[in-house]
């Protein structure tokens, strides 16, 4: 009898460069027709988001396909627009041969901030905040709205301060955007500031600034924003021979 053929050698998967992929399906709640599939390596979701890291450790029954394993069984991201997710992936998985921080528009960085906050990608959230600081500095109303939505206390402070100090009055559209009660508080801060600057008598209002008028909201936003701070990595120094 001829000798059996030897078994082919078993290849070893590289520890760093053998990526598992995952298929996501995004489906906005109000536009169920806009369903898009995305297939990406899953390692960045696992490494950079505590939420996805936790999801990936959940056990799957033996007779059930793992969500995200293929196009027929994607992991559903309900309530997420394909446009927002695509913009987010530009940062998470740059398509350039030499990866670099992508040059995104303001709206694109807002999409990145939205999903990084939702899924607790803390490093990417911090990057988006840095990129948006300059883009928002001349738009006090958007600073207020985004500061509220994403718990960014510096935008809230800057937005309220700029709106209270500027020469132009609040427009009807701005009042609608920030809310009538907020607009009235800004008006109060503006009037007292003008009274102090120009020496106009005001028997009913004390001298206040925007920070004190919105102190409660600012404190609450600051506390909420602290939950997104990245943990400090401690460096353990090796002791020398003489220590």
* Tokens of residue 46, six digits: 């696992």
* Tokens of residue 3, six digits: 């000798």
pLDDT in tens, the chain (243 residues): 666 677 667 788 888 888 889 999 998 765 555 688 999 999 999 999 999 999 998 888 888 888 999 999 999 998 899 999 999 999 999 988 777 889 999 999 999 999 999 999 999 999 999 999 999 999 999 999 999 999 999 999 999 989 888 888 899 999 999 999 999 998 888 777 666 666 655 544 444 467 788 889 999 999 999 999 877 555 455 555 454
Domain layout of the chain by residue ranges: 137-230
Distance CA 75, CA 67 (A): 5
Task: Give the pairing type, strands 21-27 and 36-41.
Answer: antiparallel
Instruction: Give Rg (Cα) of the chain.
Output: 26
Residue among 89, 155, 148 at smallest CA distance from 124 = 89
> CB of 229 within 8 A of CB of 152?
no
> CB of 172 within 8 A of CB of 160?
no
* Tokens of residue 194, six digits: 């003008």
Distance CA 33, CA 53 (A): 29
Cβ contacts of 90 within 8 Å, gap of 6 or more: 102, 104, 108, 112
112 Cα distance to chain centroid: 6
Q: Return the bridge partners of 41, or none.
A: 21
The tokens 């602290």 sit on which residue?
226
* Tokens of residue 65, six digits: 């396909």
User: What's the pLDDT at 142?
Assistant: 98
Distance CA 92, CA 104 (A): 13
Using DSSP, how many helices (H) and how many strands (E) does the chain show? 11, 3
């Amino acid at each position: 009898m001829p000798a059996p053929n030897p078994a082919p050698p078993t290849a070893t998967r590289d520890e760093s460069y053998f990526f598992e992929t995952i298929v996501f399906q995004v489906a906005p709640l109000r536009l169920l027709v806009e369903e898009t599939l995305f297939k990406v390596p899953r390692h960045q979701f696992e490494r950079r988001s505590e939420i996805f890291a936790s999801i990936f450790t959940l056990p799957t029954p033996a007779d059930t396909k793992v969500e995200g394993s293929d196009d027929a069984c994607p992991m559903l991201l309900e309530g997420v627009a394909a446009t927002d997710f695509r913009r987010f992936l530009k940062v998470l998985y740059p398509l350039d041969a030499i990866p670099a921080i992508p040059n995104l528009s303001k709206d694109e960085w807002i999409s990145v901030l939205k999903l990084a906050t939702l899924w607790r990608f803390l490093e990417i959230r911090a990057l988006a905040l840095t990129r948006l600081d300059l883009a928002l500095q001349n738009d006090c109303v958007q600073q207020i709205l985004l500061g509220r939505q994403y718990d960014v206390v510096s935008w809230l402070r800057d937005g309220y301060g700029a709106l209270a100090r500027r020469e132009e009055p609040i427009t009807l559209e701005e009042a609608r955007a920030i809310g009538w009660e907020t607009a009235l508080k800004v008006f109060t801060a503006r009037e007292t500031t003008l009274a102090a600057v120009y020496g106009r008598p005001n028997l009913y209002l004390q001298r206040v600034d925007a920070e004190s008028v919105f102190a409660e909201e600012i404190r609450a936003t600051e506390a909420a924003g602290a939950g997104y701070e990245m943990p400090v990595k401690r460096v353990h120094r090796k002791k020398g021979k003489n220590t």
